[in-house]
């Protein structure tokens, strides 16, 4: 079965600064990869997904992620963070079983 | 993606009682799932709800504690039985339109507190 590691529990960035959230997965083949965002008291919203093809994927709200097979990674990036981006971010992987989530990274944005 | 509605959105229940959570999707979906998110934690898959047959449970979850129904392609229920304070969590319904090259979308969740 697949597994996901998000090494950063909490990240704080200044508004307008760039952001990169790390995600590493373990799976014997190329899985489906996802990033979801959860705002306080809300459900999960899909930011972006990778199934196959172009390894750089664009998502909503100006986010992008790059699949690197050699590093088993799918890091999330945004060039300029807005205060409204403060939330919990979950990387998830789907292989031969349903979605498995990482432990999440909490993003705080300061002025 | 389709829209998932969950009821109730939150509840406070007495220990020893049961609560049934409803999940309604606004269009037919192939797969439905139930997840648990304990306070401050990530999401853990409870089971896959199978239409017309018994749900497929993940390790650590059993049918007697979390009975699940899925009578058709748009509706599922999860019951949390004989509740204890340890069952206090957010329970999320999820669905996928297909098995290949499709993403899962989620309801807003049911926040359950057991006292």
* A41-83 residue pLDDT tens: 788 999 999 999 999 999 999 999 999 999 999 999 999 999 9
Q: Cβ–Cβ of B42/A43 closer than 8 Å?
A: no
Inform me whether the C-beta atom of residue A40 falls under 8 Å from chain B C-beta atoms. no
A 10 A CB-CB count for A26 gives 14
- The mean of the pLDDT values for chain B is 95
Give percent of chain A above pLDDT 90: 88
Looking at the predicted structure, is the pLDDT value of residue B8 above 80?
Answer: yes
CB B20 within 8 A of CB B77: yes
- Residue A30 confidence class, pLDDT cut points 50, 70, 90: confident
**What pLDDT is stored for residue B9 in this prediction?**
96
Closest CA to B83 of B107, B109, B110: B110
**What pLDDT is stored for residue A9 in this prediction?**
96
Backbone angles phi, psi at B39, to 5 degrees: -50, 125
Q: What integer is the mean pLDDT of B11-32?
A: 97
Burial of A102 (0-12, 13-18, 19+ CB in 10 A): buried
Inform me whether the C-beta atom of residue A96 falls under 8 Å from chain B C-beta atoms. no
Distance to chain B for A71, nearest Cα, Å: 22
Looking at the predicted structure, is the pLDDT value of residue A3 above 80?
Answer: yes
Alpha-carbon distance of A47 to A37, in angstroms, equals: 7
Identify the sign of the CA torsion B75, B25, B88, B49.
positive
Looking at the predicted structure, is the pLDDT value of residue A29 above 70?
Answer: yes
Q: Cβ–Cβ of A51/B48 closer than 8 Å?
A: no
Query: For residue A67, what are the β-bridge partners?
Result: A74
Closest CA to B55 of B44, B65, B69: B69
**What pLDDT is stored for residue B1 in this prediction?**
66
Alpha-carbon distance of B109 to B38, in angstroms, equals: 12
**What pLDDT is stored for residue A41 in this prediction?**
79
- Residue A97 confidence class, pLDDT cut points 50, 70, 90: confident
């Amino acid at each position: 079965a697949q597994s996901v590691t998000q090494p950063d529990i909490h990240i704080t960035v200044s508004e307008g600064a760039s952001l990169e959230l790390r995600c590493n997965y373990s799976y014997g083949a190329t899985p489906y990869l996802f990033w979801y965002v959860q705002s306080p008291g809300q459900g999960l919203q899909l930011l972006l997904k990778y199934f196959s093809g172009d390894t750089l994927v664009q998502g909503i709200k100006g986010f992008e992620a790059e699949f690197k097979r050699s590093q088993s990674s799918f890091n999330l990036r945004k060039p300029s963070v807005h205060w409204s981006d403060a939330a919990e971010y979950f990387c998830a992987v789907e292989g031969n079983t349903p979605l498995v989530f990482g432990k999440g990274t909490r993003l705080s944005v300061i002025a | 993606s389709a829209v998932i509605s969950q009821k109730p959105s939150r509840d406070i229940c007495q220990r020893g009682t049961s609560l049934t959570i409803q999940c309604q999707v606004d269009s037919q979906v192939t797969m439905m799932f139930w997840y648990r998110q304990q306070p401050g934690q990530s999401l853990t898959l409870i089971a896959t709800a199978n239409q017309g047959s018994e749900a497929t449970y993940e390790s650590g979850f059993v049918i007697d504690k979390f009975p699940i129904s899925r009578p058709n392609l748009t509706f599922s229920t999860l019951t949390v039985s004989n509740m204890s304070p340890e069952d206090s969590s957010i329970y999320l319904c999820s669905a996928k339109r297909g098995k290949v090259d499709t993403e899962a979308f989620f309801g807003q969740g049911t926040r359950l507190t057991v006292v």
